[in-house]
Structure 1
Amino acid sequence: MNRTIRVSAAGDILIMKRLLPGYQDVLPIREFLMQGEVRMANLETTISDGSCYASAYSGGTWLTADAKCLEDTLRYGFNFLGISNNHTMDYSYEGLASTICELKKKDVAYAGAGKNLYEASRPAILDTTAGQIAVIDICSTFENAARAGSQTERQPGRPGLNPLRFSEKYTITEKHAQDLAEIAEVTGINGLRDLHRQEGFIAPLPEGVMEFGGKMFEISKDGTEGRISSPNPIDVKRTVDAIREAKMTCEAVLVMVHSHEIRKDNDEEADYFLEEFAHACIDAGASAVIGGGTHQLKGIELYHDCPIFYCLGNFIFENQYVRLLPADYMEKYGLNIHTAASIGIARRQEQSSHSHYEIPEVYRSVLPYFEICQGKCTHLELLPVELGMDRENAEKNIPYVADEKTAEKIAEYLTRVSRRYGTEWEYKEGRIVLHA
């Protein structure tokens, strides 16, 4: 019997404070999400009591929220939360352990991080009426110290997130290569790396490739210039192998990926390596790829009749309500280390010329509901939502079902950013659907 697998999803949950008492708008959103037996989103914060020490790095802002915020998140009906993102290790190993502990207390399935690479990369298994569904979670935006490490027979693994590394290659003309070589000579920007390469600590440069400031430049033979990125083959193989292994016992595999990388200079286009990675996942047997990261929607592709949501944008976005920030943050913005978090966030906003809180697209998203049968998508609809950009502060940054005018704008935007994938969208009877 070919059973239908029902899935609903949301974007990034950056929750920092409790939902308002009596907040009723959760109900229509919950009703939509509850159509799926698998209901997934990305938890873009650690969960702790605030006593964990901060890492020397963060995903941009050090994020941790109280367990009560997790309870509020679950009011929407989610039964899977991905925890592989650029904030996974904001509060180091203790913060990760605390987050996992709280998820286990709430009996919420999770994937994407763990006490070693095996745990971080293995899928969560969810039981549904259609059978078992595997969900893999992975992240491409992280400090190198945040990635999980493999255990061996001699040493334990390293706690961290499931990494999707990538490489970049820039192509330049011979003239520009000469210009960079002259700059490198007078500044010494390559000096230490050249020495390390001579000593064998860094691999030799391939023929026709030069380095400048840690970036690799291929010298063009035909005068073309540009940039390309490629996913790390080790990380792709680990994910592809996990998909194929899960397919042996599960009815479907879903992949969640968190990526802030962009193709050029805006948040609308998925980077090259992300497209290649998503296609590899579908080719290996995954039925959908659900992306997050950049704080606005990216395009949606139907690849071999399987949906790829390159980024679903925000579901809850409360970055300005961070209540704890370490001394490192304050020093970065020239503040006394004992400064309150609210003042620290305000200082950052003061120096911004393009704040997230002034961009309408940051406050608009869609929630997909889709059905899978025999590994392919047989039904897809999107609930348009907005995050209260023009509401009072207490009501901002949380999801509401979009009104008709806003929903039509979301559909128009989605069509524009999906054009490269050949999909067009229209608003019809409360939903955004593929244009006939």
Structure 2
Amino acid sequence: MRITAVGDIVLQLDDHDERFVPSAPVFRSSDVAIGQIEVPHTTETDVVGITVPSPPADPDALGAMARAGFTVGTVAGNHSYDLGTRGVIDTLRNAGRFGIQTTGTGATITDAMKPAITGTHDRSVGVLSFNCVGPRESWATSKKAGSAYVKVLTHYDLDDLNPGNPPQVYTFCDRKSLDQMTAAVSAARDTVDVVVIALHKGYGHTPARIEDYEYDVAHAAIDAGADLVVAHHSHIMRGIEMYKGRAIFHGLGNFVTVTTALTPDPESDSEELKAWAKRREELYGFSPDPNVRGYPFHPESRNTAIAVLDIDEAGKPSFGFIPCWIDDYARPVPLDHGSDGDRVAEYISGITRTAGLDTRFSWDRDVVRVE
């Protein structure tokens, strides 16, 4: 069995099918293919989100994701409730129209925490999805639609009391919500053969930075029975960790992510978008490459990957990734062993080492193995 997974998918421009052309053969040949549906696919336009909200994406755009071979969509994330209850429910319904199973959001927290269950070759696979970055308005409750979540707390400590010095930042998981997540993972472990957990987590647009809580929540998922942990939200690749013989992709970055939401039109009167564009440069130190239409992200984020979990006949797992480069048309292009594939693999190896992780990488046919 081969399970593949990618990071954020945003389909808010045109030519949706064309964006997947280079990568579709990988997913069509997978037994299970998982992608993060980052924004609501709905005709609703009444914005609820309090941060920079996502505009609605065309419901029919999810058909391109399905035709590319994706079978599971993880949906928990910071934009899941941007367009309210209708945005949540419409996204699930529209994914289902095209045969994509979903997990991570629902009409209630109970619904949001139900795994998507699929599989083949006499092995079942359960996929769960959790939002670790807020906003809390996006969280589901017993009476409100939204996402499954792990609440993360932030503590600021001024080690040097000189006025104006930056504080040391510590992050940690709220125990109650972390226990809620691990209970869901454990329950899935009891009913399926393979468990995959998708976490929406991490500091944005910055490679090689992994916060304390990210290790805690990922390790807790594996301790509870997960075979593979994949993450997204940061819109840039992060390091890969091996923990108790299981792989943690701390950030799979972008996949097909085309949008105008983060790039203000010069003629636009949107003060929020203009302020965000200025703040993005101040916070993260980059401006998007103007040559890649609809791709308002860090130039380094064009290095990306497809996570791979292979399971042999005896049930033994092996982990790896297929390096990809996002081309000038914002299409992720899988790369073979050779100059381009080696370059992206070395980038991922480099940010892994910078993060302090001792993962080893080696090519095995079409996959860079991690161990």
1:87 is matched with which residue?
79
SS of residue paired to 1:54:
coil
1:119 maps to: 111
After superposition, what is the alpha-carbon deviation per residue over 1:62-92, rounded to whole angstroms, capped at 9, x for unaligned?
2321122111122220000011111111111
2:303 and 2:347 in contact (8 A); partners too: no
Displacement, 1:18?
Answer: 3.4
Aligned residue in 2 for 1:44: 38
Per the alignment, residue 222 of structure 1 pairs with none
Deviation string for 1:392-426 (max 9, x for gaps)? xxxx2221224743322211111122222211335
The TM-score normalised by the length of structure 1 is: 0.73
Aligned-pair CA distance for 1:46: 0.8
Distance 1:57 1:270, change over 3 A: same
Given that 1:244 and 1:284 are in contact with CA atoms closer than 8 Å, whether structure 2 keeps it comes out as: yes
| Alignment root-mean-square deviation, CA | 3.4
Shift of 1:427: 5.2
1:278 aligns with 218
1:314–1:431 Cα change, 3 Å? same
Q: Measure how far apart 1:252 and its partner are.
A: 1.8
1:265-299 CA-to-partner distances (Å, cap 9, x unmatched) read 93322211011111111111110101111111101
Residues 1:379 and 2:318 are matched in the alignment: yes
Larger radius of gyration: 1
Superposed counterparts of 1:199-218, under 5 Å: none
Alignment-derived partner of residue 176 in structure 1: 161
CA pair 333-172 structure 1, distance change in 2 beyond 3 A: closer
Could you tell me which residue of structure 2 aligns to residue 9 of structure 1? 5
Which structure 2 segments of 5+ residues have no match? 290-296
Matches within 5 A, 1:173-252: 173=159, 176=161, 226-252=168-194
- Contact kept? 2:85, 2:145, Cα under 8 Å: yes
Q: Is 1:361 matched with 2:300?
A: yes
Q: What pairs with 1:261-410 in structure 2 (closer than 5 Å)?
A: 261=203, 266-320=206-260, 330-333=270-273, 354-357=286-289, 359-372=298-311, 378-388=317-327, 391=328, 396-402=329-335, 404-410=338-344
8 Å contact from structure 2 (residues 54, 261) kept in 1: no
How far apart, CA to CA, are the structure 2 residues paired with 1:350 and 1:134? Answer: 39
Name the residue aligned to 1:54.
Answer: 47
Aligned mates of 1:143, 1:321 — CA distance in 2: 18
Secondary structure at the counterpart of residue 385 of structure 1: strand
Q: Return the alpha-carbon distance in structure 2 between the equivalents of residues 421 and 244 of structure 1.
A: 27
Q: Is the 8 A contact 2:236 2:252 kept in 1?
A: yes
1:256 alignment partner, one of 194, 198, 206: 198
- Distance in 1, matches of 2:95 and 2:46, equals 20
CA contact under 8 A between 2:207 and 2:351: conserved in structure 1? no
TM-score under structure 2 length normalisation: 0.85
Task: Label 1:312 to 1:255 Cα distance change in 2 as closer, same or farther (>3 A).
Answer: same
| Partner SS for 2:270 | helix
**Do the aligned partners of 1:147 and 1:163 also contact (CA within 8 Å) in 2?**
yes
Secondary structure of 1:41 counterpart: strand
